[in-house]
Amino acid sequence: MSSQDIPEENLPAAQDHAHGSVKVADEENPFADPGLPPHEHRIQDLDERAAKRSERTVALLFTVSMLATVGFIASFVAIPVDKSVYIWPLGHISALNFALGMTLGVALFAIGAGAVHWARTLMSDEEVADERHAIEADAETRAKVHADFKQGAKESVIGRRKLIRNTMLGALTLVPLSGVVLLRDLGPLPGTSLRHTMWSKGKLLVNMNTNEPLRPADVAVGSLTFAKPEGLEEHDEGFMNEIAKAALMIIRLEPDAIKDKRELEWSHEGIVAYSKICTHVGCPISLYEQQTHHALCPCHQSTFDLADGARVIFGPAGHALPQLRIGVNDEGYLEALGDFDEPVGPSFWERG
Amino acid sequence: MSTTANEAPRSRGKAPAGERVADWADGRLGIYSLAKANMRKIFPDHWSFMLGEICLYSFIIIILTGVYLTLFFHPSMNEVTYHGSYVPLQGQLMSEAYASTLDISFDVRGGLLIRQIHHWAALIFLAGMFVHMMRVFFTGAFRKPREINWLFGFLLLVLGMFTGFTGYSLPDDLLSGTGIRFMEGAILSVPIVGTYISFFLFGGEFPGHDFVARFYSIHILLLPGIMLGLVVGHLILVFYHKHTQFAGPGKTNKNVVGMPLLPVYMAKAGGFFFLVFGVIAAVSAIATINPIWAIGPYRPDQVSTGAQPDWYMGFSEGLIRVMPGWEINFWGHTLALGVFIPLLIFPLVLVAIAVYPFIESWVTGDKREHHILDRPRNAPTRTAFGVAWMTVYFVLLIGGGNDLWATHFHLSINAITWFVRIAFFVGPVLAFIATKRICLGLQRRDKEKVLHGRESGIIKRLPHGEFIEVHEPLSQEQLHTLTAHDQYRPAEIGPTVDENGVERKVSRGEKLRAKLSESYYGEESQIPKPTVEEYKEITSGHGHH
Amino acid sequence: MKKLSARRRHPLAALVVLLLALACTGGLYAAFAPASKAQADETAQSLAIDEGKKLYAVGCASCHGTGGQGTTDGPSLVGVGAAAVDFQVGTGRMPAQQPGAQVPKKKVIYSQAEIDQLAAYIASLGAGPAVPSEEKYGPEGADIAKGGELFRTNCAQCHNFTGKGGALTHGKYAPTLEGVDPKHIYEAMQTGPQNMPSFPDTTLSEQNKKDIIAYLDAVNGDDTVEPGGLSLGGLGPVSEGLFAWVFGLGALIAVAVWVAARTAKAKKS
């Protein structure tokens, strides 16, 4: 590296001849550092009345802070937690939150303002220069440390007794593995759980809103309905994990508006059921535009054409929404004809 | 009980109590030698040097309010039925975490205020760190000997982002749950190990019952613990290196000019803590943040439009929103590039700014200490790089909020997405070129000012009828300030043949450095500062303009 | 006919029509009251249909066709029902002014009586949802919390958590629900205006709709308490971030400038 170092003369000349002492103008070099300008006095330094005024201002600010703290405690005691109040332009807000926040804000701000005003007007404002010292040690210290280190290393015999060194490194490398192994029980292995949902042949499609199984007649063209599998209730232990995969979006199209052949096959009288979980990163996609038949994801704007096999027409999603094959059972209710054909939700390595 | 033991306290007894306590402490801690070096430490006055203090103080405020919040928050995902005082959620099923956050907001007196202070302070903390970092960047304060402190600061920013993100996720509301879902999807996109990481993080399938408790310990213990250590290290280094200062009369690379810590900065910096806390408390009194009650409890089948992370994660949101949906299937595997590429670019955006100081020091080959700050115009390439980086960052922020841009400016969301896709590549280039030109223009103006004086605005008519504007010569202070900056010469590849006539191999790195150096300091990239000779030549023939 | 249509655009025309309609119905009612009430209703209905047909011919037929069968400029209105008319005309969306991504809400140009007549006419073209009566969308008997859950499942994805609206594809948008008449919200759910899907009673029951409307009133009404202070548009983290930068950090930088500024020197003052 040193042979490639940039030569010193390429670097600009150091310009640190002055040390902050007050210097006279340099006739030879008009750009030379004239040194610190002479100190000028403030009004407060010369006029005791002005200084007194400053003192009173500072004291007033500290007093305001004390009063505000009293106000804070009084508000805390006096204002009920659920009382609301109309304050323009904030609107209807919690009286307690506003009172506590403002009194605390004033109490703190006034202390700060007092201290800063004190520093600015009454404490000495004479600028002083402090010398810097090089961070680097001098050559002597450097040599001493190097020598000490070498001696220490030599005395430890680590260089000579290679067996000790190597086994020690081995032991130190292995010992953190225990910590890694301990993390194993953070969760189960994925297995095939991401491939399956609760849907299976014969499961009824239950309306999310009314909790009743859906009939084909319930679903009108242009309408949007969300469904869950029969037997999944909101208070179930596993509800969250199951609904995160099984949520359905049900729409009805005119059968001749369906462009995709498989979509038509898997539908029932134009009723199609798609996974509500976006194939991008799993947001519940459901911004359905009934005239264009497009569904937009509110999180990252992936857009799917629900009349064309839910293929991606815009945005970051990588593949179409999985469709659930549906039919009607003997009692006239919509039912699933099996699980989804492919994993729902975001892509993952093993998805294939 | 001996006489000597009795005598010693008596002689000391005359000293004031404070002095005696200090003596006692010094005998055990050696505080006097510490105070000798630091009590009258000098700090320069400049508003931009207080940006770091905004960060420090908001960090302290976050810790104070955070400790209070832990007293009431239940980091549990057990399902409970809500019976608290917020009517529109009564009887709803929700996690204990969400229910306890509602209790903090509606039933604990002052709980809402502390929650809002905690969250507002977090947003301001990260905004402060961003601005502080930009100040350090554009003034070149990251140069030797402060590179390590630059990295400390950078780590604080990144850790702050993740501490914020984990905290935002704790209430288990619909908005933050959507954010967690996004995170899960992003992890799943990682080749080979993605599903395993996700299952270990969530204790099984998403959302499971574990992540709030796990994020809780990360949010209140692990990350803030590391950050606290880094903050202490950051401050020690600031003390040790002493503060940088702008060029000016009396200010050199070997001194620091300003006011002493005791008393002026004790009062100013101490007072500033209260000012920061006061402002944040007032903000929290007048503006709602993260009204989780209006958002509702998390359910994986529900969502709201306008689902965004807090602002500091906004650029990653932009990356993920504008990425095209690429996906490759091969040999029974899926590579979700549409998610994985943004996941890789996200750290790269941050690392780009973090490694810049090392690139610059390699290009200049300058190994000296720098304590005088650059004016951004005097380092055009660096300034242009910084502006280009900020352009990328803000373009991505636009992408992250594309739905709100669409509704508020009556635009098409698809058009905004396309704009961001193009601007992500074109924007920084244009910003780089424009910034460099502006910097050179400003350098020219400075040179003009030094050589010909300040335009006074006074128009004079000469005897022969010509009108001229009177230029006032600058004072020596001003002349010095405007000419104090360093100007490098481009590094050249040294002689390729050594003294024995043997050809030396010129490494690729060396060639690259010469090229970079040329683009940094070549004729195109800086205006030579006026010399004394030029100045004298012009001023000696006074009257010429 | 031309003269008549010109007069119909007169600002007072609506009033005249209304008075005429009232006089007619009142007079007819007086005449037929002793007879069966159903008959009176029927007659009033057919009168309204006639009036509505005239209004339709002037204001709507150019796009929707003379018989409501639809043209390339406007969809068929057969079977959309009175609720759709009451919503579209009652919120000023119809008659549309200019083509665009979406027909926006505007100033309403028809009186409620005229809207009712138009609705009666369209309803006569084919069966469709009727204009809901007030007890259907009133607050009595509504479960606000259930309404919130339903809103988050069915509506929030487009209209935002508290109904502030949001973006759809290619410049379309879900409008804000703030200040929208509960009747119109009910009708929108029933009929699915423009690109909004419909939520018929078979999948979102009448009680469900009532709950949703009550929830919206609770979280987005005029008297809704926002305990924390300014709601910043209710838009979530983007507006919060903007506020933190501009007012939070902005105020702190202003304070920092004061803290670091030089105190005035004596000689300058």
Residue A2 pLDDT exceeds 60: no
Residue C34 pLDDT exceeds 80: no
Domain containing A303 — which CATH number? 2.102.10.10
Alpha carbon of B516: minimum distance to chain C alpha carbons (Å): 36
Residue C154 to residue A224, Cβ atoms within 8 A: yes
Q: How many CB atoms lie within 10 A of CB C112?
A: 13
Residue B305 to residue C160, Cβ atoms within 8 A: yes
Whether A207 and A294 map to the same domain: the answer is yes
Look at residue B4 in the predicted model and tell me its pLDDT. Answer: 46
**DSSP tag of C17:** H
Segment A43-76, tens digit of pLDDT: 999 999 999 999 999 999 999 999 999 999 999 9
CA distance B62 to B160: 11
Would you say residue C228 lies in a domain? no
Alpha carbon of B132: minimum distance to chain A alpha carbons (Å): 21
Would you say residue A15 lies in a domain? no
Q: Which residues contact C45 (CB under 8 A, 6 or more apart)?
A: C120
Nearest to C226 among A42, A45, A92 (CB): A92
Nearest to C161 among B275, B285, B304 (CB): B304
Segment B487-508, tens digit of pLDDT: 888 887 777 777 777 877 788 8
Chain C residue at shortest CA distance from B131: C249
Look at residue A16 in the predicted model and tell me its pLDDT. Answer: 44
H or E stretch covering B202: helix B194-202
Residue B112 pLDDT exceeds 50: yes
What CATH class is the domain B42-366?
A: mainly alpha
Residue B9 pLDDT exceeds 60: no
Largest CA distance in chain A: 108
Look at residue B537 in the predicted model and tell me its pLDDT. Answer: 85
Whether C102 and C138 map to the same domain: the answer is no
A220 neighbourhood in chain C, CB within 8 Å: 198, 200, 202
Using a CB–CB cutoff of 8 Å, tell me whether A217 touches chain C: yes
Q: pLDDT grade, residue C3 (50/70/90)?
A: low
Look at residue A196 in the predicted model and tell me its pLDDT. Answer: 92
CB B287 within 8 A of CB C232: yes
Q: pLDDT grade, residue B7 (50/70/90)?
A: very low
Chain C residue at shortest CA distance from B278: C252
Q: Which residues contact A257 (CB under 8 A, 6 or more apart)?
A: A270, A293, A307
Q: pLDDT grade, residue A11 (50/70/90)?
A: low
Look at residue A170 in the predicted model and tell me its pLDDT. Answer: 96
If you average pLDDT over residues B206-211, what whole number do you get? Answer: 94
C-alpha to C-alpha distances, B109 to A96, A97, A104, A109, nearest whole angstrom: 8, 8, 14, 22
C84 neighbourhood in chain A, CB within 8 Å: none
If you average pLDDT over residues A157-168, what whole number do you get? Answer: 92
- Chain C (231-260) residues lying within 8 Å, Cβ to Cβ, of chain B: 231-232, 234-245, 247-249, 251-253, 255-257, 259-260
Nearest to A207 among C168, C195, C203 (CB): C203
If you average pLDDT over residues C51-68, what whole number do you get? Answer: 87
Look at residue A20 in the predicted model and tell me its pLDDT. Answer: 40
If you average pLDDT over residues B239-248, what whole number do you get? Answer: 93
Residue A84 pLDDT exceeds 90: yes
Look at residue C1 in the predicted model and tell me its pLDDT. Answer: 45
Alpha carbon of B203: minimum distance to chain C alpha carbons (Å): 26
CA distance A188 to B477: 71
- Chain B: partners with 3+ C-beta pairs within 8 Å: A, C
Question: What value does the CA radius of gyration of chain B take, rounded to a whole number of Å?
Answer: 30
Segment C169-187, tens digit of pLDDT: 999 999 999 889 999 999 9
Whether C94 and C155 map to the same domain: the answer is no
Instruction: For residue C24, say whether it is annotated as part of any ligand binding site.
Output: no
Would you say residue C210 lies in a domain? yes
- Domain boundary, last residue among A74, A96, A121: A121
Instruction: For residue C184, say whether it is annotated as part of any ligand binding site.
Output: no
Q: How many domains in chain C?
A: 2
Structural domain for A78, as ranges: 44-121
Whether A210 and A93 map to the same domain: the answer is no
Residue C35 pLDDT exceeds 90: no
- Chain C: partners with 3+ C-beta pairs within 8 Å: A, B
Segment B26-58, tens digit of pLDDT: 999 999 998 998 899 999 999 999 999 999 999
Would you say residue C206 lies in a domain? yes
Nearest to A183 among B200, B240, B286 (CB): B200
Encoded amino acid at B352, one letter: A
Domain containing C90 — which CATH number? 1.10.760.10
Chains A and B form CB pairs within 8 A to the count of 387
Q: Which residues contact B10 (CB under 8 A, 6 or more apart)?
A: none
Nearest to B476 among A30, A235, A300 (CB): A30
Alpha carbon of A246: minimum distance to chain B alpha carbons (Å): 9
Residue A335 pLDDT exceeds 60: yes
C253 neighbourhood in chain B, CB within 8 Å: 47, 51, 54, 131
Residue C28 pLDDT exceeds 70: no
Would you say residue C225 lies in a domain? no
Question: Rounded mean pLDDT of chain A?
Answer: 90
Instruction: For residue C155, say whether it is annotated as part of any ligand binding site.
Output: yes
Alpha carbon of B406: minimum distance to chain C alpha carbons (Å): 6
Numbered residues of chain C with Cβ closer than 8 Å to any chain A Cβ: 150, 153-154, 157-158, 166, 168-169, 172, 174, 192, 194-200, 202-205, 208, 223-231, 258-259, 261-267, 269
Domain boundaries, chain B: 3-38, 42-366, 375-492+506-545
Whether C93 and C39 map to the same domain: the answer is yes
Chain A residue at shortest CA distance from C207: A210
Structural domain for C20, as ranges: 2-125
Write down the pTM of the prediction: 0.91
Would you say residue C262 lies in a domain? no
Q: pLDDT grade, residue C48 (50/70/90)?
A: confident
CA distance B426 to B446: 31
If you average pLDDT over residues B456-472, what whole number do you get? Answer: 86
If you average pLDDT over residues B528-539, what whole number do you get? Answer: 86
Residue B219 pLDDT exceeds 70: yes
- Chain C (147-186) residues lying within 8 Å, Cβ to Cβ, of chain B: 147-149, 152-153, 156-162, 164-171, 173-174
Whether C20 and C100 map to the same domain: the answer is yes
Alpha carbon of C86: minimum distance to chain B alpha carbons (Å): 26
If you average pLDDT over residues A276-281, what whole number do you get? Answer: 94
Look at residue A10 in the predicted model and tell me its pLDDT. Answer: 58
Residue A351 to residue B333, Cβ atoms within 8 A: yes
Segment B167-188, tens digit of pLDDT: 999 999 999 999 999 999 999 9
Residue B109 to residue A244, Cβ atoms within 8 A: no
- Domain boundary, last residue among C183, C198, C220: C220
Look at residue B294 in the predicted model and tell me its pLDDT. Answer: 93
Chain C residue at shortest CA distance from A205: C203
Segment C92-125, tens digit of pLDDT: 898 888 777 888 888 998 999 999 999 999 988 8
If you average pLDDT over each of B110-119, B323-332, C67-76, C153-162, which comes out highest?
A: B110-119
Look at residue C13 in the predicted model and tell me its pLDDT. Answer: 61
Instruction: Give the 3-state secondary structure of chain A.
Output: CHHHCCCHHHCCCCCCCCCCCCCCCCCCCCCCCCCCCCCCCEHHHHCHHHHHHHHHHHHHHHHHHHHHHHHHHHHHHHCCCCCEEEECCCEEEEHHHHHHHHHHHHHHHHHHHHHHHHHHHCCCCCCEEEECCCCCCCHHHHHHHHHHHHHHHHHCCCCCCHHHHHHHHHHHHHHHHHHHHHHHHHCCCCCCHHHCCCCCCCCEEEECCCCCECCHHHCCCCEEEEEEECCCCCCCCCHHHHHHHHCEEEEECCHHHCCCHHHHHCCECCEEEEECECCCCCCECCEEECCCCEEECCCCCCEEECCCCCEEEECCCCCCCCEECEEECCCCCEEECCCCCCCCCCCCCCCC
Q: Which of A275-284, B86-95, B457-466 has the lowest mean pLDDT?
A: B457-466
Q: How many domains in chain A?
A: 2
Would you say residue C260 lies in a domain? no
Look at residue B544 in the predicted model and tell me its pLDDT. Answer: 47
Would you say residue A92 lies in a domain? yes
Q: How many CA atoms lie within 13 A of A40 on its CB side?
A: 11
CB A288 within 8 A of CB A306: yes
- Domain boundary, last residue among A78, A100, A121: A121
Would you say residue A8 lies in a domain? no
Look at residue B486 in the predicted model and tell me its pLDDT. Answer: 84
> Given the DSSP bridges, would you call strands A311-314 and A303-305 parallel, antiparallel or unpaired?
antiparallel
Best of A106, A300, A304, A311 to mutate (most B CBs within 10 Å, chain B): A300
Whether C147 and C101 map to the same domain: the answer is no
Look at residue A23 in the predicted model and tell me its pLDDT. Answer: 45
Nearest residue to C91 via CA among C183, C195, C157, C224: C183
- Chain C (126-145) residues lying within 8 Å, Cβ to Cβ, of chain B: 144-145
Alpha carbon of A158: minimum distance to chain B alpha carbons (Å): 31
Using a CB–CB cutoff of 8 Å, tell me whether A227 touches chain C: no
C158 neighbourhood in chain B, CB within 8 Å: 305
Residue C228 to residue A286, Cβ atoms within 8 A: no
